[in-house]
Amino acid sequence: MAINYPYRVFRYQVEIDGISRAGFSEVSGMSSSVDAVEYREGDDLRNTPRKLAGLTKFGNVTLRWGVTDDSDFLEWVYSVAPTNTAPPTGIQRHNVLITLIDDAGNPGPSWNLINAWPVGYTVPDLNGMGGEVAIQSLELCHEGLEHTPGSASAEPSPI
């Protein structure tokens, strides 16, 4: 009997509208929740309310990566937020696909953020005594989180 090992959190790929961006050191915040709406009619015999499904909400996702000369993400931020010399150019919504990768390098399960756009950008703290990599972050809001299961590998684990 083959053992189906779980995926590890350190191998993943991020694609924005089909363009691979593999240089992210961390992706966090993927979540969804459904509000519970309480409802009770005046002639109900029960003294407790019924629970109905309300709005579905999706948590903001944060992407973190090392500072480089690449300014593509800043241009995306500036489409929403003004600079000192230019107003916002209008929200640019993109689909963001986050895919886990197995030990053999094959794509696994993925999550698709629907109509994502930036709501926050953080510059790293600087310290003259530090030796860490400068990490910046981009916070994205989105309108949906779709999960796609990974395909089973062609070769089962020998264990």
* Range name among 34-38, 42-46, 85-89 with the lowest pLDDT average: 85-89
Domain total in the chain = 1
Whole-model pTM: value is 0.81
Q: Is residue 37 part of a domain?
A: no
Q: Structure tokens of 96?
A: 């963001």
Tell me the CATH number at 131.
2.30.110.20
Which of 64, 71, 159 minimizes the C-alpha distance to 120?
Answer: 64
Give the pLDDT score at 155.
42
Q: Is residue 42 part of a domain?
A: no
Give the pLDDT score at 44.
83
Q: What confidence tens digit (pLDDT) does each residue in 67-78 have?
A: 988 777 888 888
Between 159 and 103, where is the model more confident? Answer: 103
Q: Structure tokens of 45?
A: 């015999």
Q: Is residue 141 part of a domain?
A: yes
Q: Is residue 85 part of a domain?
A: yes
Give the pLDDT score at 152.
52
Q: Is residue 94 part of a domain?
A: yes
pLDDT band at 22 (very low <50, low <70, confident <90, very high): low
Q: Is residue 88 part of a domain?
A: yes
Give the pLDDT score at 125.
93
pLDDT band at 109 (very low <50, low <70, confident <90, very high): very high
Q: Is residue 50 part of a domain?
A: no
pLDDT band at 23 (very low <50, low <70, confident <90, very high): confident
18 is in which domain, residue-wise?
12-29+60-148
Q: Is residue 71 part of a domain?
A: yes
Cα 116 to Cα 143: distance, rounded to the nearest angstrom: 7
Residues 6+ apart with CB under 8 A from 39: 49, 50, 51, 52
Q: Is the pLDDT of residue 45 over 90?
A: no
As a whole-number percent, the residues of the chain with pLDDT over 90 amount to 55
Cα 36 to Cα 100: distance, rounded to the nearest angstrom: 31
